[in-house]
Amino acid sequence: MNDKLLSLLGMCRRAGRLEIGFAKTADAIENGKACLVIVAADTAARTEKEVRFKGKDQIPLRRIPHSAQDLSHAIGVQAGTVTLTDDGFAKQALFLIDNGGMNI
């Protein structure tokens, strides 16, 4: 895997700090555990809209330029939406996404 963001998401999953899928994302938002929501490029716009509604625009949400297949490969589980529940992982992911530092 040659992408820092996807590698970080894989590490986040192994650390138990990643909620996978829309339902778990919604639960993490409602329980105040969500630090960052990531949506794959080919995930439906409606899903992103529903996540934004649940988070009331208070939880950062980023659509990444990777497909759900790429995301799924990185984390080992089929998903188009994931939520980071650790502030440190979330800050690093935001840095990588917002500053274009995704590729090694």
Taking only the tens place, the pLDDT of each residue in 23-63 is 999 999 999 999 999 999 999 999 999 999 998 889 999 99
**Which pLDDT band holds residue 19 (cuts at 50, 70, 90)?**
very high
CA 45 to each of CA 8, 42, 50: distance values in angstroms, whole numbers, following the listed order? 24, 9, 9
Check: CB of residue 88 under 8 Å from CB of residue 36.
Answer: no
DSSP string covering 4-51? HHHHHHHHHHHTT-EEESHHHHHHHHHTT--SEEEE-TTS-HHHHHHH
* Domains of the chain, CATH where assigned: 4-98 (3.30.1330.30)
Torsion of CA 72, 85, 19, 21, to 10 degrees: -80
